[in-house]
Amino acid sequence: MYADDISYGSEIRDAVLSLCERFPDTYWREVDRERRYPTEFVRAMTEAGYLAALIPEEYGGSGLGLRDAVTILETVHASGGNGGACHAQMYVMGIILRHGSEEQKKRWLPKIADGSLRLQAFGVTEPTAGTDTTSIKTIAVRKGDTYIVNGQKIWTSRAEHSDLMILLARTTPKEEVKKRSDGLSIFVVDMKKALGNGLTIHPIRTMMNHATTEVFFDNMEIPADHLIGEEGKGFRYVLDGMNAERLLIASECIGDALWFIGRAAKYSGERIVFNRPIGQNQGVQFPIARSYAEMSAARLMVYRGAELYDHHEPCGKEANIAKLLASESAWQAAEACLQTHGGFGFAEEYDIERKFRETRLYQVAPISTNLILAYVAEHVLGMPRSY
C-alpha cells in the first residue's frame, strides 16, 4: 500500500522505511503503554540526519527542502510510528534559520544538526488566549542586556525533553500598539539554564503519549542576544513557522491514513465470515476505497504547499487547507479501519486503538478545523471576519 503513486522522494522514503523497520509495532506499543519519550527512535533519526533535514549543509545539516521533510514524516507514520518527537524540531528550527542572525545560526544550528542540542519546544499557546495569539499575556521586559519574562504557556509539548525553546512573548503592551499583532517578540530559551531559575514545567497527561506540558515563567532571565529578529516583529515570524508546522502535521496525517487504509484492506482479505472474506462486501470495501481517494486528494495539497514554501512563495492558503483535508482524511480512514476490524480494533495488540487516539488530535491541534474554515472564509474568499 505504501509503494504508492507519487514517485517524489522515493529514495528518502526507502531509507526512512529501512530505519523504521528497526522500530516495529511492539516498540511503539510499549512506548505508548509506558507513556515514555521515544528516545531510541529520536536518536536513530538524529544520527541518520533526518532531524537536520532542513538545516543547510554549511551549518551541518542535510540541506533538504520541506517537501523532503514532508516525505520523511509521512513515511514514519505510514510505518506505524509517530513523528511527534521529530516534527517540532523541523519546523521550529526554521524560525532561527529564516529570521535569526548569522551569529545565532552558527551558535545553535550545528549543535541542533548533530543532536547535541534538542530544539523541540515551542512556547506560544496560553490558557486564556488559545489560538488568539495576539492576546497572549506572557511579557518580556528588557533590563540592560537581559529580558525578564513572566507568564505561562500551555500545550508546550516535549519541554521536558528539549534543551532549547522558541518562546513568543509580548515586549510592548497591547494597548500601546497600533496593530494587535505588533509588540510580540521571539526568543530562544536555554531551558537547561532556566529550569529552576524562573522556569517551571508541569506535565499534562492526555489521551495520547504526546509528552505535553504547562510551563511557567517567574522572573526568568533571557540574554538580549537570544532575541530572534527585530523586537516586536515576532508574530510575523511565528506565522511563517506555522505554515511549515501545518504542512508537516498534514504529512503525518497522510501517513496515518495510509497506515489505516493498508491495515483495513489487508484485514478485510484475511477475515473470513460466512465462508468468505469480509472484503467481498461492498459495505466493507467502499469506506476503505473512499478513504484512499480522500487521502490521495489531500496529499496533493500537502505537496503543493510544501513546494510553495520551498520557493519562498505565499502558502498560507495551501498549508491550512492541506492540514484540514489531511486531518479529516486520516480520521475517516481511522473510522473505516476500526469498523473493518470490529472488536479486534479495540485490542491493544492490533495497534489500531493507539493510532486512532493519535490521529484524532490533529483535527484540534495545532489548529482546529473550525479556525481553518474561518481563515479560508476571510482570507481566501474575502468574507467578513467572524467573531
Give Cα separations from 356 to 75, 111, 248, 250 (angstroms): 17, 35, 19, 16
User: Known catalytic residue: 57?
Assistant: no
4 in any annotated domain: no
Domain boundary residue, one of 176, 205, 232: 232
Give Cα separations from 238 to 133, 229, 246, 344 (angstroms): 10, 11, 12, 43
Residue 130, CA atoms < 13 Å, CB-side half-sphere? 5
Which amino acid belongs to residue 257? A
Please tell me whether residues 192 and 145 are part of one structural domain. yes
User: Which residues of the chain fall short of a pLDDT of 70?
Assistant: 1-9, 387
Catalytic residue from among 221, 245, 294, 328? 245
pLDDT given for residue 129 in this prediction: 87
Which structural domain range is residue 113 located in? Answer: 10-118
Residue range 199-225, pLDDT digits in tens = 999 999 999 998 999 999 999 999 999
- Cα 73 to chain centroid distance, Å, stands at 9
327 in any annotated domain: yes
Please tell me whether residues 240 and 376 are part of one structural domain. yes
pLDDT given for residue 4 in this prediction: 54
Neighbours of 180 (CB within 10 A): 13
Backbone region of residue 323 per phi and psi (left: phi > 0; alpha: psi in -120 to 50; beta: other values): alpha
Please tell me whether residues 113 and 20 are part of one structural domain. yes
Q: Report d(CA 319, CA 148) in Å as an integer.
A: 34
Q: Report d(CA 362, CA 327) in Å as an integer.
A: 6
Please tell me whether residues 114 and 124 are part of one structural domain. no
Residue 38, CA atoms < 13 Å, CB-side half-sphere? 27
Cell of 169: 512573548
Helix (H) or strand (E) run with residue 276 in it: strand 276-277
Helix (H) or strand (E) run with residue 215 in it: strand 213-223
Total residues belonging to the chain: 387
Residue 271, CA atoms < 13 Å, CB-side half-sphere? 19
Greatest extent of the chain over all pairs of C-alpha atoms, in Å: 79
Residue linked to cell 473510522: 335
Question: Do 140 and 170 form a contact (C-beta atoms < 8 A)?
Answer: yes
Strands (E), 69-137: 119-123
Domain boundary residue, one of 90, 118, 146: 118
Phi/psi of residue 212, nearest 5 degrees: -90, 155
Q: Which of 264, 322, 266 is nearest to 291 (CA)?
A: 264
Q: Which of 1, 115, 95 is nearest to 49 (CA)?
A: 115
1 in any annotated domain: no
Please tell me whether residues 53 and 167 are part of one structural domain. no
Number of domains in the chain: 3
Question: Do 382 and 231 form a contact (C-beta atoms < 8 A)?
Answer: no
pLDDT given for residue 3 in this prediction: 47
Please tell me whether residues 245 and 228 are part of one structural domain. no
